Chain A
Amino acid sequence: MKADVQERSGAAGAGHAVADRVIGDVLLSVENVSLAFGGVKAISDVSFDIRKGEIRAIIGPNGAGKTSMLNVINGFYHPNQGAITFKGRKRSIMRPYIAASQGISRTFQNLALFKGMSTLDNIMAGRALKMRRGLLWQALHWGPALSEEIKHREAVEKIIDFLEIQHIRKAPVGKLPYGLQKRVELGRALAMEPDLLLLDEPMAGMNLEEKKDMSRYILTVNDQLGTTVALIEHDMGVVMDISDRVVVLEYGRKIADGTPDEVQRDQRVIDAYLGISH
């Protein structure tokens, strides 16, 4: 028994060593992107890149264009100018579901869960792209369709275990408390097994305890699965603690880009957050 435990911890340690954080090549690069809604310029001429395996934070005061930036990245908005290259392929205008099929998934600032469905169904819906059986097999719910369903159910149960939401598996998500809903939404995004995970304010409205949990989940996902994470967050303590590099936007422009330490010392960032005395 003791040997078994040792072996398991040894294996875990080895796994950790293998998945030891390697920041790789550029996974996604944003080049000179501009986005305007009529006369309102949401983003003007912003460029940055996200490297494989890193945690990249996008911060900035309200209205700086952070969420618009995420919407551009996953194809919901189409930039007026500039280009986005994902996995080495420059992309033209695309529909969101194509971005999803290429491995980008996200969560939302104001929860966008499927309220009429259970936690389990919400997370299972995240695997819609991976399920291949046609209508007729599903109508039978037998044979290959059933084994496919079970296979994906097993994968979803792992996510449920990881996020510690076993007790709300069958509960309709509309009735869950906010913190748990955020967790379910993260689970739904993880179920897609993304290469790039976009998190729009994953810790908004949470207490300290919940923020700690959420940070732990994000770090574990990044560490164990090697998922690249781009997150928008207002809690500077969290951002500076968990992110590798930070982009700072203000009024749709990029004003700083670098490691948390560099960004913190940047005079323009300090001015943007604290204001300038006149």
Chain B
Amino acid sequence: MLYREAGQFKTSYAADMAIFPIRQDRIALIILLLFAFIGIPLLAHFQLWPLGSDYMLRAILIPFLILALAAIGVNILVGYCGQISLGSGAFMAIGAYSAYKFGTGVHIPLEFIGTEIKIAPLPVLPSILLGGLMSAIVGILFGMPSLRIKGLYLAVATLAAQFFFDWVFLRVKWFTNYAPSGSVNAPELSFFGYLVHSPIERYLLCLIFVTLFALIAKNLVRGNIGRQWMAIRDMDIAAELMGIRPLYAKLSAFAVSSFIVGVAGALWAFVYLGSWEPLAFSIDRSLQLLFMVIIGGLGSILGSFLGAAFILILPILLDQVPHALGVPISVETVSLLVFIVTGALICYLLIVEPHGFARLWSIAKEKLRLWPFPY
């Protein structure tokens, strides 16, 4: 009965095209944002449950936000434009290492022509955004095959990007500033003179990034370019006959997706890990992101958040629940169980609900509109 939209009339197309045309949804979103921006910092400040220690922020909320951001990026490419990518881990790595290089100063010796390129270390914010930009450029390059090949073959081409960049960041010492161990440390997180240090500050930083990029992504997918992406996904021949240029639509999807994934990679490295090595962005990360998108919901921004939450929280639940119930369970068994449950769930969702949690959520809302009456 609460979720009833009777009496809510739209008098302009702008109102009808709003992201949340239903008033109850808007209120819920405002409450959620208020809680995320004010409630959680307050809870953390007064050390109240469940934020009594840093664990919740460090191990759950920060990675959730960054991975949700990456999942939004992957969703634009896979869910909205229909181009399967197995190289998202590589694009996170490109974002992370580019941001690192821009943050510590780029120095390209060009001895054979007797010159060199030197860029002084940049502040953190431009570094992160430039990291995203580099990722977008590489994304466009590796998106070129999509103009010729589709589906599984494209997935293999993006897989090549994954392995290539794994190798590059491991072997080309220039990217790691010749660190002997191959592991690098993020520069200090200083924004306009303000040093982001404590977990709650890091959390808020990620939250700002995620909120902004989620809004941008939503604006893109409900606008002209989003319709072009979906048209290419649903029926590429008809799209072309209607004047949509496949080149522009596909490569713009690759660029936007890689940009967001690159920014997420830079955040993952700078804010979450602090110091990292190429293994942090291996093929496992690519697959994890793809699973998030499939489970959460292809072609849904909300789904990216749901998928990220699920993939991240599942191992923790499987670890905690048996302990709470008094069932002894070893760490190895937990990690195996995670694989089993994730795999089974993906199979189940692919068969029963290919649009993931996001569709289940919208079905629930449809039912709620009528509840408690059947019609």
Kindly report which residue of chain B lies nearest to residue A173, judged by CB atoms: B234
Given contacts A115-B235, A125-B231, contact A188 B224 (CB under 8 A): no
B12 / chain A contacts, CB cutoff of 8 Å: 150
Q: CB of B54 within 8 A of chain A?
A: no
Range, interface on chain B: 20 to 34
Q: Are A114 and B235 in contact (CB under 8 A)?
A: yes
Bound: A125/B228 CA distance, A = 7
Q: A97-B245, A154-B13 are in contact. List 9 more A-B contacts (CB 8 A).
A: A100-B241, A113-B234, A113-B235, A114-B233, A121-B230, A125-B242, A127-B224, A141-B223, A150-B17
A141 / chain B contacts, CB cutoff of 8 Å: 219, 222-223
Q: CB of A128 within 8 A of chain B?
A: yes
B14 / chain A contacts, CB cutoff of 8 Å: 146, 150
Interface of A is mostly: helix
Q: CB of A211 within 8 A of chain B?
A: no
Partner of A105, one of B222, B223, B242, B256: B242
Minimal beta-carbon separation of A79 from chain B (angstroms) = 17
Interface of B is mostly: helix
> Would you give 27 A-B contacts (Cβ < 8 Å), ordered by A?
A76-B241, A96-B241, A97-B243, A97-B244, A100-B240, A100-B241, A100-B243, A108-B238, A113-B234, A113-B238, A114-B238, A114-B239, A115-B235, A117-B234, A124-B224, A125-B244, A128-B227, A128-B231, A128-B242, A129-B243, A138-B219, A140-B219, A141-B223, A149-B13, A150-B12, A150-B14, A154-B13
Q: CB of A166 within 8 A of chain B?
A: no
Q: Are A74 and B241 in contact (CB under 8 A)?
A: yes
Q: Are B243 and A116 in contact (CB under 8 A)?
A: no
Range, interface on chain A: 35 or more
A 90-118 to B, binary, CB cutoff 8 A, 1 in contact else 0? 00000111011100011010001111110
Q: CB of B299 within 8 A of chain A?
A: yes
Minimal beta-carbon separation of B218 from chain A (angstroms) = 8
Bound: A135/B249 CA distance, A = 11
Enumerate B81-115 residues with CB–CB distance to A below 8 Å.
Answer: none
Bound: A105/B239 CA distance, A = 11
A247 / chain B contacts, CB cutoff of 8 Å: none
Q: Are B224 and A131 in contact (CB under 8 A)?
A: yes
Minimal beta-carbon separation of B111 from chain A (angstroms) = 39
Kindly report which residue of chain A lies nearest to residue B223, judged by CB atoms: A138
Q: Are B234 and A114 in contact (CB under 8 A)?
A: yes
Q: CB of B225 within 8 A of chain A?
A: yes
B334 / chain A contacts, CB cutoff of 8 Å: none
